[in-house]
Structure 1
Amino acid sequence: MSAPRTPEEALAFLARLNPSGIKLGLERVLEALDALGHPEQRFRVLHVAGTNGKGSTCAFAATALQAAGHRVGLYTSPHLVRINERIRVDGEDISDEEFGRAILDVLERYPSAVSEPMTYFEFGTLVALWHFARVGVDVVVLEVGLGGRLDATNAARPTVTAITPVSFDHMEYLGHTLGAIAGEKAGILKPGVPCVVSAQEPEALESIEVKARALSVPLWVEGRDFSAELQSDGSLSYRGPTWRLEGLRPSLRGPHQRQNAAVALACLEALDAHGVRVSTEAARAGVGSARWPGRLEEVGERPIVLMDGAHNPAGVAVLLASLRALYSGRPVHCVFGVVADKDRGPMMRALFPACASVQLTPLDTPRSLAPEAYLDEARALVSDVTAWPDVDAALAEARRRAGADGIVLCTGSLFLVGMVRARTRGP
């Protein structure tokens, strides 16, 4: 692979790296950051791990930090439509020109990335950290890609860390028990750096607490140190170590956003106590105005097309609770696609019986599982199920069956959400 010379060639270089490649370990990233002059040390960091809810929590926190007057970098993954979505400053995606220039800068200082290509995620993380330092952000909200301990983002040195709910996902990399998975997520903990922890299953919380004690990490645990309670008028009431906020109305939909908002608010409170000033007014504004596409996102009407990136059993359970709360009594016609390495069985067994029909579709990724490979499994769970050659045919059939009053639900993978989003509303 030859070294790119223009921003356009630089973007093409990134595209040629395998988006599905996973290589856990920090050695290459640490070596590269040293060559880059340690851009990750030029701003404060909120580092967020967990299985579900990371993105929403990051969105709430980043929006509030911006409302507090900080210049804010936000690094998340995966993207839905364009990779530019992963790197944002003050809510704006990085432009193609800036992206290309940042790639060239990184390759100039670390040419080994050309001769010995890194993974897509490793290299993207380097580019993000370089860009954030170059444009002079004050604070970065950094979402873990996979796990935590060996994730490329763990090269950063945070001011505050957070762990959202831990459940079963990526077991081939993280372990086959909740305790093992939580231990990998808790790998982001740093000596003495406070960590905000959502309510967890006892096995997961115990694993996090063991790690925290070993590193003298102050833990703020949901239900013990902070909480957000639903009030009779539909608003939330937050109680933290020092903050008290009433009448909160999260901009992101679904009953699970109560927990995500609570974790974000606790993170903001911890940041404020450690030198990143955030007023309660800014925190309220962040919770009330954050956007996070592809999670219970509606487009169109008659029928409504609902996109949600649930891609593991815990995510599907949250999705089903949201469907009951927001669309009770309306028939659901599901467009479903899944990657081959996901534990599809528990997802399907929970979701498909709640659907009036299911349209199976392939995904635009080499990791896609062909619909025909699990059609018989699906037929055992719902009588009206069809395998389609592409998402356009599956979406058209689901719309036809939903008519004016049904719901077209597109779920199973964020790859699918991105495909549908590009077709229904663009980037």
Structure 2
Amino acid sequence: VGLGGRLDSTNVITPQLSLITNISFDHKDLLGDTLPKIAAEKAGIIKSHVPVVISERQPEVEAVFTERARAMEAPIVFASDHLSLKAAGDGFDVYRDQQVWLTDIRPELRGLYQQKNIPGVLQSVVRLKMMGYRISEEALRTGIANVVSLTGLKGRWQKLSDKPLTICDTGHNPAGIQMVVEQIKATPHRKLYMVFGVVKDKDLNDVFGLLPTDADYYFCQANIPRAMDAYDLAAKAGAAGLRGVVERDVNKALRRANEAAGPEDLIFIGGSTFVVAELENL
């Protein structure tokens, strides 16, 4: 869905199955300022007698989903109760109820957060097959291995170029930023350059505490009314110990980062879906 769930326009559909990924803080002005409140909005997509898969069992919110499912008489399963991924070479092995189920799964989406998303997808496939859908292992592997080329999905730990390695990602809430920072740390590089912009309704207190302090930042803004002014962002970031310069235009900011970076450096573009969407070579 687009935003939340209960009041999202896509919620007019009665699906064959619903899937809800892990819950984290985002859009608190609209969805609520606690995880249970946000989960309640997400749970609004659970329909009467329609099976629902929850990707991750989170103690803070699991009761929200189980109670909603009970009220709607909807079969519910938490994917993390049954499925887990273990890194194996360039891919993953999938364990189902602690037994190896699928080996050498290689997702085209390379973000670390796929370790949380893929179990939900696979559990959904298990449920659909129980409902009579015919989905072969080959089709499953092909879908995961080619999800970008099949769907056109972009901006999910997407490599734009080498030397310097240039990556963009649309992660924009604290949970997403944390995963991005972990992946940056795991990516070999000499110096880090961050092209970074956010929307003005974003609570930045938690985000700033996650961002690398040893990076050079180029603060920018997407060309939309919701974008936080790049100078305001730079001032707030500076107060949090992040150093950088302002270049409002996203692509100009990237060009400046490219001019400063060496071949062994890493350039990251993110902070907002809208910033990534404006990249010319996406």
Q: Normalised by the size of structure 2, how large is the TM-score?
A: 0.91
1:271 aligns with 2:128: yes
**Greater share of residues in helix:** 1
Q: Could you report, residue by residue, the CA deviation over 1:8-41 in whole angstroms, capped at 9, with x for unpaired residues?
A: xxxxxxxxxxxxxxxxxxxxxxxxxxxxxxxxxx
Q: Where does structure 2 lack aligned partners over 5 or more consecutive residues? A: none
Q: CA deviation at 1:174?
A: 1.0
1:394 paired residue number = 253
1:164 aligns with 2:21: yes
Q: Normalised by the size of structure 1, how large is the TM-score?
A: 0.61
Alignment of structure 1 residues 299-378 onto 2, 5 Å: 299-325=160-186, 327-353=187-213, 355-378=214-237
- Cα distance in 2 for partners of 1:268, 1:159 equals 12
- Cα distance in 2 for partners of 1:396, 1:231 equals 35
Q: CA deviation at 1:262?
A: 1.5
Higher relative contact order (CA 8 A, sep 6+): 1
Q: CA deviation at 1:206?
A: 1.8
Greater Rg by CA? 1
1:414 aligns with 2:273: yes
SS at 1:350 equivalent: coil
2:139 paired residue number = 282
1:147 aligns with 2:8: no
Q: Do the aligned residues in 1 keep the contact of 2:19 with 2:53 (CA within 8 Å)?
A: yes
Letter of the 1:364 partner, please give it. N
Q: Could you report, residue by residue, the CA deviation over 1:86-142 in whole angstroms, capped at 9, with x for unpaired residues?
A: xxxxxxxxxxxxxxxxxxxxxxxxxxxxxxxxxxxxxxxxxxxxxxxxxxxxxxxxx
Structure 1 stretches (4+) deviating beyond 6 angstroms?
none
1:42 paired residue number = none
Q: Do the aligned residues in 1 keep the contact of 2:111 with 2:156 (CA within 8 Å)?
A: no
2:78 paired residue number = 221
Q: Where does structure 1 lack aligned partners over 5 or more consecutive residues? A: 1-143
2:89 paired residue number = 233
- Cα distance in 1 for partners of 2:23, 2:34 equals 11
1:405 paired residue number = 264
Aligned residues: 277
Q: Do the aligned residues in 2 keep the contact of 1:198 with 1:259 (CA within 8 Å)?
A: yes
Seq. identity, %: 33
2:158 paired residue number = 297
1:193 aligns with 2:54: no
- Cα distance in 2 for partners of 1:183, 1:196 equals 15
Change (3 A) 1:397 1:273: same
Letter of the 1:284 partner, please give it. R
- Cα distance in 2 for partners of 1:275, 1:218 equals 16
